[in-house]
Chains A and B, each alone.
With several copies, the nearest count.
Chain A
Amino acid sequence: MRARVFVTLKRGALDPQGKAVCTSLHQLGYREVTDVRIGKCMEVTLGGLPRREAEQRLKAMCDKLLANPVIEDYRFEVYED
């Protein structure tokens, strides 16, 4: 089983990376781009657990380690491969 965990900066928090990338996209002529926000995407492979339990444990991993609740939000999707 695999899970894809997305960690993004909370709305409202400054995203210097996204800002810089947006600027250079403009300089490259991609004026249609109005905003860029950059986050992490983690591909987690898990040994066989019942789906529900896997989801509970993933939530715990995010709260504990994968995301920083003070400045980041997260969501994840579990899928079989």
Chain B
Amino acid sequence: MKFGIVIFPGSNCDHDVYHVAKHVLGHEAAFLWHKDDGFAGVDCIVLPGGFAHGDYLRTGAMARFSPIMKAVEGFADRGGMVFGICNGFQILCEAGLLPGALVRNAGLQYICRDVFLRCDRQDTPYTGRIKPGTVLKIPIGHGEGCFFAPEETLKSIEEKKQVVFRYCDSGGQITTESNPNGSLRSIAAVCNERGNVMGMMPHPDRCAEEVLGNADGRRIFDSIVHSWTQARRTRL
């Protein structure tokens, strides 16, 4: 399959995602430039981590207006996979493709360390290979990853099962201590109602190889490939 990785000015995990897609998974990967207004032949769009436009003003605020985002929205409307990691998640929220907003960490500090995530649902293209309740160890690296949404939005997110991962402890328990940034309801990843667009603050792209001491992140990428394979089978 082919991953399309968007480069915004200030993206800095673009090469990391490219490496995973191409050299770890052995699939095709192409960079998409923020100034282009279209792309073709891509099966999954990834908005990588970084500090698009410096994250000045608000994270993701300026990036969402990049010409490429129109095409990304169209792709999402047609059911295409759109995966936002960290800054990519922040951009998707600003763009309204995902609910809520990501605000300053409760502790006010940037945090780079491993956290544990509990998978809440398997029926998304990003978790097809991960049973609900599974605990993954995935690093975070952000200063503004606190998921916030007004109460009514939270309610509907929960009702529609749009929470894909929550911060938890190594045993899968959702606790205040295991919530690194104060995210409401320990939300680490959400998807849209249809499930084809997902954003997550933790970085699966930083833990997809044994040489880095942890390959848990690979399971999310494997799921993406899996769902693509499934989809193609049904098409044929």
Q: Which of B23-31, B51-59, B200-208 contacts A (4 or more CB under 8 A)?
A: B51-59
Min distance, Cβ B152 to any Cβ of chain A, angstroms: 11
Q: A13, A14, A21, A70: which contacts B182 (Cβ < 8 A)?
A: A14
On chain B, the number of residues with a Cβ less than 8 Å from chain A's Cβ atoms is 23
Q: How many angstroms from the CA of A70 to the CA of B99 in the assembled complex? A: 9
Q: Contact size class for A?
A: 10 to 19
Does A47 make an interface contact (CB < 8 A)? no
In the complex formed, the residue of B with least CB distance to A36 is B57
Contacts A14-B146, A16-B106, A70-B100; is A27 near B65 (CB within 8 Å)? Answer: yes
A71 touches B65 (CB 8 A): no
Contact B148 A14 (CB under 8 A): yes
A68 to B14, CA, bound (A): 26
Please tell me if the beta carbons of B148 and A17 are within 8 angstroms of each other in the complex: no
**A24 close to B (CB within 8 Å):** yes
Complex Cα spacing A28 to B67, Å: 11
Residue of A nearest to B151 (CB): A12
> Would B150 and A12 count as touching, CB distance under 8 A?
yes
- Indicate if A20 sits at the interface (CB-CB under 8 A): yes
Known: A20-B57, A20-B62, A21-B56. A70 touches B108 (CB 8 A): no
Extra inter-chain contacts (9) besides given A21-B57, A70-B148, A71-B103, CB under 8 Å:
A13-B148, A16-B182, A17-B108, A20-B53, A20-B56, A21-B56, A24-B65, A66-B57, A70-B93
